[in-house]
Amino acid sequence: MIKIKNLKKFYDNRLILNIPELILETGKIYSLIGRNGAGKSTLLNILAGILTSDEGKIEIDMNEVILCSQEPMFFKGSVAYNLIEPFKLRDEKIEISKIREFLKIFGISELETSLISTLSGGEKAKVQFIRTVLYNKKIAFLDEPTASLDKKSTALVEDIIVKMKNEGKLILIITHDYEQALRISDAIFEIDEGNILEKRGIYVKKN
Ligand SMILES: Nc1ncnc2c1ncn2[C@@H]1O[C@H](COP(=O)(O)OP(=O)(O)OP(=O)(O)O)[C@@H](O)[C@H]1O
Ligand SMILES: [Mg+2]
């Protein structure tokens, strides 16, 4: 569960976020929508501990958080290196068979030994999403994970996100694809003028 209370974030005296209260429960998918520059990534980065807020309180288990950022971040090296090294650094084991399984699912098995720098934008997004899933954290923040993906890959990502939810995970996803939000979300929030508003009623998915 995540609890946010009286969160405020300013950039150069400009109030970007102003959220009196927000509670997110485990085992649910929440979509965050809003115009460019509304503050969506800022909120996700604050929740993931990458940025600090100026005011307010957040209750969250930081050990259980993984962020799939809007701008992918990679080590210099191959796809395999980027999927193995983060876990090595944390003394965690990752099965190469598991990595290969995901590469196959996304149709990029042949890129296993390719340098990340040679990948297309969509291929990079796939590798970053695979890495996020491999972390197997209870809370996943996904910042526009399908923005550069084709239709088939987008559907794969949506299937995996729903599976994560069914495993009891909390997923907060930023998207500009309203249809996608309708397809997968338990609730849809919009950031507007810094505040976060729940789009209730017909927008909330019925199980
Ligand atoms: N380091 C910074 N210094 C000053 N202003 C910033 C900084 N980072 C972000 N901003 C501003 O804060 C606002 C919110 O940015 P944010 O990245 O959260 O938007 P967003 O909702 O994710 O937009 P998009 O849909 O384009 O990704 C923007 O107007 C942006 O220019
Ligand atoms: Mg953003």
Which residue's CA is minimally distant from atom 1 of ligand 1? Answer: 11
State the pLDDT at residue 197.
87
> Which of 11, 35, 144, 192 is the pocket-test mutation for ligand 1 (most atoms within 8 Å of CB)?
11
**Residues linked to residue 189 through DSSP beta bridges, in sequence order:** 32, 198
Query: Does the Cβ of 46 fall within 6 Å of ligand 1?
Result: no
Query: Domain segments of the chain: what residues?
Result: 2-75+121-203
Q: Find the 110 Cα to ligand 2 centroid distance in Å.
A: 31
Q: Find the 143 Cα to ligand 2 centroid distance in Å.
A: 7
State the pLDDT at residue 200.
55
Q: Which residues of 23-59 are buried (b: 16+ CB within 10 A; e: fewer)?
A: ebeeebbbbbbbeeebbbbbbbbbbbeeeebeebebe
> Which of 42, 70, 141 is the pocket-test mutation for ligand 1 (most atoms within 8 Å of CB)?
42
N-to-C CA span, the chain: 20
Query: For residue 181, which of 133, 150, 145, 152 has the smallest C-alpha distance?
Result: 145
State the pLDDT at residue 207.
46
Q: Write the burial class of residue 98 (CB in 10 Å: 0-12 exposed, 13-18 middle, 19+ buried).
A: middle
> Beta strand pairing status for 195-199 and 187-192?
antiparallel
Q: What CATH superfamily is the domain 2-75+121-203?
A: P-loop containing nucleotide triphosphate hydrolases (3.40.50.300)
CA distance 44 to 41: 5
Q: What is the mean pLDDT of each run of 10 residues along the chain (207 residues)?
A: 96 95 95 96 97 97 96 96 93 93 98 98 98 97 98 98 98 96 94 85 44
